Amino acid sequence: MKKSGVLCLIVLMTMTLGACAGGQGQGDEAKPEGQQEQNGKKIVVLSVFQADPIYTQAAKKYEEQHSDVDIQIKEYSQVEASDLESDLEKYVKTTTTELLSGKGADLITLDVSGLPVEKYVDKQALVNLSELMKQDPGFDSNSYEMNILDGAKMGEGLYSLPLRFFLDSLMGDKNAIEQSGVEFDDSTWTWGEFTAVGKRLAASGEHTYSIGNTAPEQMLNVLFVDNYTRIIHGEKRPASFDVNVFVGLMEQVKTMYADKVVTDAEVNAGDYFFAPALILSPEDYFVGPAMFYEQGKIYRKPLAAGQQAGGTFVMHKNLGINRNSNVQAEAWDFMKFLLSEEIQTMPGLQGFSVNKKVNEKTFKELEDKGTIESPMGSLIPIQKEDIDMIKQMLAQAITPQKNDSKLQAIIEEEAGAYYSGQKSAQAVADLVANRITTYLNE
C-alpha cells in the first residue's frame, strides 16, 4: 500500500501546523472607547481570525453562569473568503498595529502563523499570565499540565496560553527495527545520533532508508523548527539570526542524504524505518503507526543539539490578554473557564488538554476500552504499557515548536540552491538570515 502522499502531508504538518492549527487571531476592529460596559454588563471582546464553534459555545455557557458579563466574538475573515492568504497578511498587519498602539480586543487568539508574538512581548502589549496565576487563589497549578505552560513561557513569563497541544514524535516499523538488532535510546537521542542509527539500520537490510519522500529543504525545516531558539533570538528587538548554527544544520542535513539515511525519492509506506508524525490525540498514538506498518510504534523525536531532554510539543488554541484591556479580570476569568473540564471535554477539540483531569479521563476510557479500530478496519490492542508511554511523553514534553510558515517558506525557497550545488552553505545562510531578520523586524 502506497502512503508516500500521506507521509508528505505528515511532514508538512510537522513543519507548518502553526499556520493551520486553529487559524485564529485578533479581529480587524479595535474595541471602541467607552464600550467596556453596556446595559450593566462588562463587555469582553474576543477576536478570532475565523469563527470557531468552541469559542461560540463557551461564550454562551459562560454568560449563562455570569449574567454581568457579555462575551463578544469579533471575526476577522469569513470562511468563504476568496483570498485567504491575503486575508491572513492583512490580519497580521492589522492585529499588530492595533496591539502596539494600545487598541484591539481584550482577548486575542494567537494561533495564526506570522503573528510576531515576541514583538508584542518586547513592546509589553500582552499581559504576563504567570503573574495572574500567582495572584489568583482560585488558580490551582496542580490541576494543569504545568510542564506545557512552563514550556510555553517567553523569558520569565507566559504571554500566550495554549488551551490544547499536540505531541511531536516519530512513528516507526517496530518489527524491522527489532529484527535489525540495532539498539538506541529514543528518550535521549539527538539528530546526529539518529543519523548514526540510521546507517546501522540500513546495513541490516530490513529497509534502505530511515525516512523517505522528503526533500532536503523540508528536512532542513524540521531541524530548523527544533533548533529555532538557537538560531532566532527574537525576544529582544531587533531580532537576530545565528548564521553559523544554520550553516551547521544545512551541512548536517546534507550528510543525512549522503549517508542515505533520508531520501527525497518516493518510497512506499512500510519501506522506511521512520516517519515524522504529530500525535493529534491519544487515539493517534495507536492509529498513526497502524496506517503505515504491520506492527508500528511511536518513538520520541530526536533532540536538537543542546536541547534539554524531554519531548517537543505544538501549542494549539493559544490565547493572550491585551495589556491595555480595561476588563483584564473578566478576560482572565473567561480564559480559566476555557480551561475547565466543562469546556475541555466538548466535542470537536483536537489534541491533548492542558487540564490534567481531562487527559486522565481520556486515558482511562482508552484503557478500559481495550482496543481501537484502525482506518483499515483492524482492531489495535491498547495495553497498559502504551498508556504509560503516552503519559510519560506528555509529562516530559517541555519544548514548544516555534512554527512560522513564512520563515519556513523562506528557507525552502533559498536552501534548494545549496542542495543542488548552485550556492555555498554560507551564501545561502547569509541570504536566509537577511530575509528572515528583515521580516521579523518589520
What would the CATH number be for the domain defined by 37-163+316-353? 3.40.190.10
Span 337-346, average pLDDT: 97
pLDDT, tens only, 174-214: 999 999 999 999 999 999 999 999 999 999 999 999 999 99
Span 247-275, average pLDDT: 96
- Chain centroid to Cα 356, Å, comes to 19
pTM, 2 dp: 0.88
pLDDT of the residue at 305: 80
Pairing of strands 41-48, 107-109: parallel
Span 221-231, average pLDDT: 92
Cell numbers placing 220: 532542513
- Give the helix ranges, DSSP H, for 267-373: 284-290, 328-338, 341-344, 356-369
pLDDT of the residue at 39: 80
Whose CA is closest to 95, among 78, 76, 82?
A: 76
Q: How far apart are the C-alpha atoms of 88 and 55, rounded to whole Å?
A: 20
pLDDT band at 335 (very low <50, low <70, confident <90, very high): very high
- Residue in this structure with the C-alpha cell 532542513, named with its chain if needed: 220
Same topology, domains 37-163+316-353 and 167-313+365-441? Answer is: yes
pLDDT, tens only, 396-421: 999 998 878 889 999 999 999 999 99
% of the chain at pLDDT higher than 70:
91
Query: What topology does CATH give the domain 167-313+365-441?
Result: D-Maltodextrin-Binding Protein; domain 2 (3.40.190)
Answer yes or no: are the C-beta atoms of 162 and 335 closer than 8 Å.
Answer: no
Report which residue type is found at 210: S
pLDDT of the residue at 7: 41
Report which residue type is found at 294: E
Q: How far apart are the C-alpha atoms of 65 and 39, rounded to whole Å?
A: 17
pLDDT of the residue at 78: 63
Q: How far apart are the C-alpha atoms of 400 and 313, rounded to whole Å?
A: 5
Span 26-37, average pLDDT: 48
Give 431's strand partners: none
pLDDT at 34 over 60: no
Q: How far apart are the C-alpha atoms of 147 and 354, rounded to whole Å?
A: 10
pLDDT at 251 over 60: yes
pLDDT at 336 over 80: yes
- Least confident stretch, 13-27, 42-56, 161-175, 347-361: 13-27
pLDDT at 12 over 60: no
Q: How far apart are the C-alpha atoms of 324 and 104, rounded to whole Å?
A: 8
pLDDT band at 17 (very low <50, low <70, confident <90, very high): very low
Using alpha carbons, list the distances in angstroms from residue 368 to 22, 70, 137, 249, 382: 31, 41, 35, 44, 9
- Residue in this structure with the C-alpha cell 478570532, named with its chain if needed: 48
- Least confident stretch, 4-8, 86-90, 428-432: 4-8
Contacts of 329 (CB under 8 A, 6+ apart): none
- Least confident stretch, 76-80, 173-177, 311-315: 76-80
Q: How far apart are the C-alpha atoms of 262 and 1, rounded to whole Å?
A: 20
User: Taking the domains of the chain in order of start, what are their residue ranges?
Assistant: 37-163+316-353, 167-313+365-441
Q: How far apart are the C-alpha atoms of 234 and 440, rounded to whole Å?
A: 8
pLDDT of the residue at 80: 59
pLDDT of the residue at 89: 86
Residues 58-63: contacts with CB within 8 Å, 24+ apart?
A: 58/334, 58/337, 58/338, 58/343, 58/346, 59/334, 61/337, 61/342, 61/343, 62/334, 62/337
Answer yes or no: are the C-beta atoms of 192 and 305 closer than 8 Å.
Answer: yes
pLDDT of the residue at 82: 59
Q: How far apart are the C-alpha atoms of 196 and 190, rounded to whole Å?
A: 10
pLDDT of the residue at 172: 97
Averaged confidence pLDDT in the chain: 89
pLDDT band at 430 (very low <50, low <70, confident <90, very high): very high
Please give the DSSP secondary-structure letter assigned to residue 25.
Answer: -
pLDDT at 381 over 60: yes
pLDDT band at 9 (very low <50, low <70, confident <90, very high): very low
